[in-house]
Structure 1
Amino acid sequence: MGSTNMSYLNPKTVTLIGIPGLEHVQFWIGFAFFGVCLVALLGNSFLLIIISIERSLHKHLYIFLAVLAATDLGLCVAIAPKMLAIFCFDSYSMAFDAYLTQLFFIHALQGMESGILLVMALIAHIHPHTFLFRVVLMVAIRTTMLVGILPILLKRLQLFHPVVIAHSYCEHMAVVKLAKEDVHINKSFGLFVAFAILGFDVIFVFISNFLIFQTIFRLPQKEARLKAFNTCTAHIIVFLEFYILAFFSFFSHRFGHVSVYAHILLSTIYLLVPPALNPIVYGMKTMEIRMWVAQILIIKPDTQK
C-alpha cells in the first residue's frame, strides 16, 4: 500500500473499527446482535423448511414468503460474521476487494428485501401467478444491475485518506467519504440507486396499504374489521421500521449531523431486525403456517394402545 502525505494509493486492505465511542461495550452489543441474528436464522430457516415440504403451502403467497425468508437469511449471512468478529474478537482488518464484495451483497439483498415487501403488498391486488413471478424476476434484475455499478465506481477510485472506516459492516457512502478524488458521480449515483429502489418501492407500498385500509373499513362486521386491521398493522410496523431507518441512514450520511454511534446502531438495526421480525409477522400470523407449526409441536396421544 503506497502512501503520500497520509494518502493511500490503491489500498489493499481497509479497517472497520465498529462503533466509535462505544468500544468498551461493543462485546455486549455484539452479543445482543448475535441473539437477533440467531432468531432470524432459525425463524427464516424454519419457514423455508415448512413451505418447501408442505404441498398445501405451494401457493403464490407462501412462495413469496419463502423468497423473503431466503433474502433475510442471505442478509444475515452477509452482515453477521464480520460484524461479530469486530465486536467480539477485535478482527478489524479486511481486504478491500472483500469489502466491495460484502458491500454489493448487503445493498443488493437490501434492495431485494424492499422489492419483495412491495410484491407482498401488491398480492392483495394482483393474482396471476405468472405475472407475480415476472415481477420478482424484475426486482432481482433491477437490484443486481443498479447495485452492481456501486463497487465498480468505487474500484475506479485510487487515492484515499487512511482507510479506517467507522462502521460495523461494509457500506457504500462510508468508503466514498474516504476518497481524495472527485466523488460526485459516486454520491449522485448512490442517491439515484436509493430512490430508484427504496423510493420507488415505498410509494407503492403505501398506496397498496392505503387501498387495503379502505377495503377494511368497508367490511360490514366489526370483528372482521378488527382482525384485518390487526394483521395489517403488524405489516405496517415492519414497513415503517425498514423504510424510515433506511432513508435515515442514506440522508444522515449526506446531509445530517447525527452522532456516529447512533448512525451505526440504527443502520445495523434496520438491516438485522426485519429479518428477525418477518418470520413472526408474515409467518406465524398466517393461519395456515400457524396450524402447521401447531401440528408439529403438539404431540398427539397414541390412541391405539
Structure 2
Amino acid sequence: MSSITSFNDSLMSHQNFVLIGIPGMQEKNSWVAFPLFVLYALTLLGNITILYAIKIDPSLHEPMYFFLCMLACSDLGLCISTMPTMLGVYWFDSGEIPFNACISQMFFIHILQAIESGILVAMAFDRFIAIRGPLRYRSLLSNSVIAKIGIAILSRGLCVCFPFPFLIKRLPFCRSNVLSHSYCLHQDAMKLACADTRVNVLYGLIAVMCTVLLDALVILVSYILILKTVLSIASRKECLKALNTCVAHISAILIFYVPMIGITVVHRYGKHLPPIVHMLMANIFVTVPPLLNPIVYSVKTQQIRQRICSILHLKRTRG
C-alpha cells in the first residue's frame, strides 16, 4: 500500500518540472545571474535598435532589411521566451515551473528556432537574387512577395512544431522531474518519461530534417550558385564587393547553426561529459545568436551602422 502511495505521490509531483542552473553548484548560481542579465539587456537593446533604425530610415526599406527585421523579431521572441525563466533560476533560485508552462516554453523555443532557420534561407535567396539579377532585385522581391515568404516561414514553423506539446503531454512522468537546463526543451523533458518515447524521437528527427537539415542544404546550394555568379564577374573589385554583402549573412548562419549542432551532439553523444558542459552549451544555444546577430549586422552593414551612429549622435546632441 505504501509503495502505491509513493508512486502516486511521484506522479502528482510532476505537475511541475524543476529547472537547474549550475549542476551540483546551485549556491554559485548568483555568479551567472548578473552577466546573464547584462546579456538579456544587450540582446533587447540590440534587436530593438535594429528594428527602430530600419523603421525610421526610408532608404533601408529594402528586401534585405525587411528580412533582417524578421530575424530581429525572431531573436526577440527567443530572448523573451527563455531569459525570464533563466534569470529566475540563476538570480532567485526559482527553478520550479508548472508542467503546462514548461510545454508552452518548449513550443515557443522550437517554433522560433524553425522560424529563424527559415529566415536564414530567405536571406540566402535574397543575396542570390541581389547578386544574380540586381536590376530585377526590387521587382522580384516586392513587399507582397516578402510578406508571402514571411507567412510561409511562420506557417511551416507552426505545422512542424504544433505536435510537440501533445507528444510530451501524452507521456507519463513518474521518474525525476529535474530537467538538465534552465529552460524547457522537448528532448530534455522526453528523457524523464517512464514510457516508450520512440514516437517522440522519430518525430523530432522528422522535424529536424524538415527544417534545419533541409534549410542548411538550400543555403549551401544558394551559396554555390552565388559563388558561381561572383566568379564570373570580370572585375576583381566588383567580385569582392558582391562577396562582402554576404559576410553578415554567413556570420548569422554560423552563429545559428554552430550552437544548434553543438547542443545536439552533446545531447546525443555527450552523456559522459560533465553536467556543466551541458549547461554551458544549453545557455549558449539560446543566448548567443540573439545577442550576436544585431552586433554582426551593425558592424558589417554600412547602412545600418551609419543609421545607428546618426541616432546616437542625434540623442547626444539633444542631450
The verdict on a shared fold, with TM-score over 0.5 as the criterion, is yes
Other-structure match for 2:128: 125
Number of aligned residue pairs: give it.
Answer: 300
Give the drift of 1:97. 0.5
Using a 3 Å threshold, how does the CA distance of structure 1 residues 219 and 162 change in structure 2: closer, same or farther?
same
Other-structure match for 1:265: 280
Other-structure match for 1:182: 196
Give the drift of 1:191. 1.7
Instruction: Report the TM-score when normalising by structure 1.
Output: 0.88
The structure carrying a bigger helix percent of its residues is: 2
Q: For residues 241 and 128 of structure 1, what CA distance do their matches in structure 2 show?
A: 26
Other-structure match for 2:254: 240
Give percent identity, aligned residues only.
38
Q: Which blocks of at least 5 consecutive residues in structure 1 are unaligned?
A: none
- AA of the residue aligned to 1:91: S
User: What are the within-5 Å matches in structure 2 for residues 10-89 of structure 1?
Assistant: 11-89=14-92
Q: For structure 1, which segment, 126-135 or 54-63, has the greater mean C-alpha deviation from structure 2 after superposition?
A: 126-135
Using a 3 Å threshold, how does the CA distance of structure 1 residues 22 and 203 change in structure 2: closer, same or farther?
farther
Aligned to 1:123, what secondary structure does the other structure show?
Answer: helix
Q: For residues 219 and 282 of structure 2, what CA distance do their matches in structure 1 show?
A: 21
User: What are the within-5 Å matches in structure 2 for residues 116-265 of structure 1?
Assistant: 116-126=119-129, 127-129=140-142, 130-257=144-271, 258-265=273-280
Using a 3 Å threshold, how does the CA distance of structure 1 residues 28 and 92 change in structure 2: closer, same or farther?
same
Q: For residues 314 and 12 of structure 2, what CA distance do their matches in structure 1 show?
A: 64
Using a 3 Å threshold, how does the CA distance of structure 1 residues 173 and 228 change in structure 2: closer, same or farther?
same
- AA of the residue aligned to 1:295: S
Q: For structure 1, which segment, 123-132 or 156-165, has the greater mean C-alpha deviation from structure 2 after superposition?
A: 123-132
Q: For structure 1, which segment, 3-12 or 140-149, has the greater mean C-alpha deviation from structure 2 after superposition?
A: 3-12
Q: For residues 209 and 28 of structure 1, what CA distance do their matches in structure 2 show?
A: 42
Give the drift of 1:185. 0.5
Instruction: Report the TM-score when normalising by structure 2.
Output: 0.85
Other-structure match for 1:92: 95
Using a 3 Å threshold, how does the CA distance of structure 1 residues 6 and 217 change in structure 2: closer, same or farther?
farther
Instruction: Report the aligned-residue RMSD.
Output: 2.5
1:161/1:179 contact within 8 Å kept: yes
Q: For structure 1, which segment, 157-166 or 62-71, has the greater mean C-alpha deviation from structure 2 after superposition?
A: 157-166
